Structure 1
């Protein structure tokens, strides 16, 4: 009987150092993807067979994650029993100690489990800062709009227009493969709330931060950044609510104004949610927020 085990892992990373979440072609010699580094760490645990990581949620270069997820199969040599979840997490983090990547938690799951297709929802948070020079550690962690005020009331009206089931073709990146993706998505949450303010030491004042939260089972390529850019444009008075409605009804990516999409550095994948029943094979179940486990 095979002692191969399938694991679901939840992991976090600072995206500034990587080309994105997924593996890069072998011919690319610059930045590697997060997947490259986690696979390297897994291989250093000496599996019987080469291991491939299947990531649930692709993120672009510069985009961060507090809790992305992936699954992989692992079989130890010499018929050794599978690693326990806690041992696997500690071992991988030891191998990743020089990277801006950390494993949050691991689960033993069924052999047919898919991190991508079993996900109930994905939650992204985009951080926007308004003010002067940011603290150094925050410069690659938010979109800094210098000397800008936002009409948050208008942004919330615009956000309400995005909630629900719509054809989001107008918010899909032009260079994406439209034919391979269904542009009809259901946004369960679009929310705008104040975040933790920064202190600007030079001017001795606080820098307000707004957090835009989006939740859906899945998103189109660059959809969240393009929706964020549109909401910020509404808040700045550069885009009216009727124009936003027209853009949505046009259902074509070419109607989206150039240079309006939000930059990558303010975007965080914060949660990938699964049914607890999908994790029943694990002896160490948890409902900690970082795992994205649902009791639904």
Structure 2
């Protein structure tokens, strides 16, 4: 079994969207070109909503070579997959041979998301092209960061986050109790900050947990920004959390998808170690 780390979010296109391919389909096609004898099925650690980005994601798959050839080494597998991905805006950065019981989703120890906010954006043309559709542009020229920090402290720890999850088909089956390890608000910058001279203030909101509910990060971001704008008080944020009811979440407060990035998925080092002695290096073309 192989585990890979990829740049860009992994999304499988629904069957009804015929003629379109998502990142998962492109990765599976790249694996098929290695001519495995087993069916190709990619299991990803984190699925991102439409419009959400990923700086890094991870997945695992089984790859059995014909004629009992030894497994590819990590370096050869990374090179071969990236060659097969060709012009797609997807890159495999690391590969590991992992134990048979490894699962990219269920063995993840934490997932870290970053939400980017830009201030003073009265019109989208004020943003550099490198940040267009990659941050939430607010008209506000400043936010009450102290209020945001105070509200963020309410979200850290183990809570019933029912108020912060959106309704979907999985709602009856998901435990709403989650432990959020980190919520921080820090100054950020434009992706082109070295060459962009308009004075726009960027902020980055970071969230870390083993797992999140559907749209939980976007809803947490929304209430923190609303607290910074003075639209919600810190006590109102607490009331929303304590309500433990998705219907208690204010209308039009959730942050839009395009400012959100999956930054990293972390594992125990021991889960990424294969106990057997590595096999000889093989060229994927043989």
Q: Provide TM-score, normalisation by structure 2.
A: 0.90
2:251 equivalent to 1:255:
no
In the TM superposition, residue 30 of structure 1 has moved relative to its aligned partner by: 5.6
Query: Any stretches of 5+ residues in structure 2 without a counterpart?
Result: 279-286
Distance 1:119 1:256 in 2: 29
Paired residue for 1:52, among 25, 29, 41?
Answer: 41
Runs of 4+ off more than 6 Å: none
Q: RCO (CA 8 Å, sep 6+): is it higher in 1 or 2?
A: 2
Q: Are residues 201 and 108 of structure 1, via their aligned partners in 2, closer, same or farther at CA, if it must alter by over 3 Å?
A: closer
In the TM superposition, residue 218 of structure 1 has moved relative to its aligned partner by: 0.5
Which stretch has the larger CA shift, 141-150 or 127-136? 141-150
Distance 1:212 1:142 in 2: 11
Query: SS at 1:205's partner residue?
Result: coil
2:6 equivalent to 1:11:
yes
Per residue, is there more strand in 1 or in 2?
1
Which stretch has the larger CA shift, 159-168 or 59-68? 59-68
Distance 1:120 1:274 in 2: 5
Equivalent residues in 2 for 1:225-236, closer than 5 Å: 225-236=218-229
Equivalent residues in 2 for 1:65-144, closer than 5 Å: 65-132=54-121, 133-144=126-137
Hey, what does 1:196 align to over in structure 2?
A: 189
In the TM superposition, residue 29 of structure 1 has moved relative to its aligned partner by: 2.1
- Residue deviations 1:120-140 (CA, integer Å, cap 9, x gap): 111101110112311112102
Q: Are residues 200 and 79 of structure 1, via their aligned partners in 2, closer, same or farther at CA, if it must alter by over 3 Å?
A: closer
- Residue deviations 1:150-172 (CA, integer Å, cap 9, x gap): 11110010000000000000000
Distance 2:227 2:245 in 1: 20
Query: SS at 1:206's partner residue?
Result: coil
Q: Provide TM-score, normalisation by structure 1.
A: 0.87
Over the residues paired in the alignment, what is the CA RMSD in angstroms? 1.9
Paired residue for 1:219, among 208, 212, 224?
Answer: 212
In the TM superposition, residue 231 of structure 1 has moved relative to its aligned partner by: 0.5
Distance 1:46 1:247 in 2: 52
2:147 equivalent to 1:154:
yes
Paired residue for 1:269, among 256, 262, 278?
Answer: 262
Distance 2:84 2:209 in 1: 33
In the TM superposition, residue 31 of structure 1 has moved relative to its aligned partner by: 4.2
Query: Any stretches of 5+ residues in structure 1 without a counterpart?
Result: 1-5, 16-20, 285-296
Aligned residue pairs, count:
272
In the TM superposition, residue 280 of structure 1 has moved relative to its aligned partner by: 1.9
In the TM superposition, residue 250 of structure 1 has moved relative to its aligned partner by: 0.7
Contact 1:200 1:207 (C-alpha < 8 Å) held by counterparts: no
